[in-house]
Chains A and B, each alone.
Chain A
């Protein structure tokens, strides 16, 4: 009996220390506070986009002009989302997009325009509308520009001016540019133009080919460095390699960050990605493949090892009992 009391004391103080040092301290370190010192609760909202977070940020800044701009923008987006889009007309409009998003790996003053093969499947509908209406506002990076038309894709504002046009092309993308997408494809389309992932041999130029001769290998490396310099100039610094990102950040951070980078890193250059829940799940799966590939094996082996030690402990208990039998 006394031993159980002692065990309870030991367990209590150990758990107390753990709680203070881990959950409590990490919460204290990472929580965000507003100007009054009150905690700002940052939660994911299921990867749907209505501008609520952007507007709340502007309100906290106390910038009335910005608040009304954002409110107007996002209510316009919602308005457009209610328009019925024509898929056939949209296909013709989509040709405008292919002009830059052409897969030729050509940097257009920012990053290489992402591949749009599954754009209607992995991105949220409202986000796509917002993106075409004003890419900087959609990405919540308008703070970088005096005039959002300076965004590398900013000119779309004057190329696609009619609400119906936008509704049509988004309808086309959702109908025809969706379908089955692998985790690798989702990752390539959503992340690779800015982020490299060296553990799977991916750079901002895509998959690294195999070269027989060192000279060709080095020539390719130079092309990669030049592209990285261009992205660095656009972003302010080179976006991090994502190989180990899934283990370097918590689940909560990843979700809220991808949904709205400003919530976790105020002032960052990274635009909101605009993934929908399905798209994010695919990207997360690929990040796990690259950065935590032993996860499945770990979860498979765990129960067996623990069960083994439970059995071991039970046998040890009975052996102890037999050894101590005639001692008391």
Chain B
């Protein structure tokens, strides 16, 4: 009897031990890199889809693995939103992967401040033909206090008008070059029961990133925005910003967007455009791959690209569009020795000249000087590429403002388009930014 009790106690304890071991066990061998002199590096990325870019990037990793049998690449693909959240989570626990896709400006700054990244100045300086081929200001978003922490692997202008030329011709509408022409076009389409501009603003960044960032820049000018971000002599309650909000509100009141735009998402927005129900959709350069892959031919063949029209009296340069230099790879601070060497080798494969070329060939713009092989590319991408040779990039709101303020801006725009008052919303944004700068 006594014996029995001890046995059952033993069972219970060992069971518990097993359970607990199961919880904390894995991960240990991931870090030490496994057997012998084989080096293993981890990379987290968001190339999970079947679009040309994702396929091309995964191919680079595969080729790298095949060419370097002494290096083991453990890659993990996580869709964009999830990746951002997971990076924050591991950042809080100080357990960054060796290499990871990260965003310029706000995110890079925060990670540097948290002491999670190491600069790559030495690697860049060792290969000047690589460093000097990036387009002007391409490295700014990855530069903190003179140290460069990554290089952009693509270019993401966030604001183009994709328009269905067949619908414009059918209703005798001119492709708008001024704001008045845009408003006239909206009215005509509205009368003909065509959605003038389809918008899907449920995930509330869409209106801000694809439309408002450019619209506001046209009116306020870039200098004003950059000064306001620093809260240096300019405020979001300034009349020019209120005017920008008012302009957007008026566009909404004119019936530019279809009913219920705050309840459908970006995917559904593109669906409505694909169905030929909308004359225009305003979206980033990233929408092009989706269009080319998924739009039916009668829509795709009639689709062309332009930028938002000029606004008379605005302080901004009309030949611009909002955008960010694209994502880069962050290098964990903890990397040293042979692991760092291996990681930097992969870094160069992905973000160096060959990687940039592969990216461009997968119908994705790059922040790097190389010629597009126009015979291989889709005509719509050639159109975008040519357009971008003349168009300059201005900041997107969500890349320059901290995440808490961005959330206020995004929600403010939803409210604005649902009858909110420009002055009130400007004040909310100003309060949030003032608080963020004070911290």
A-B complex is real = no
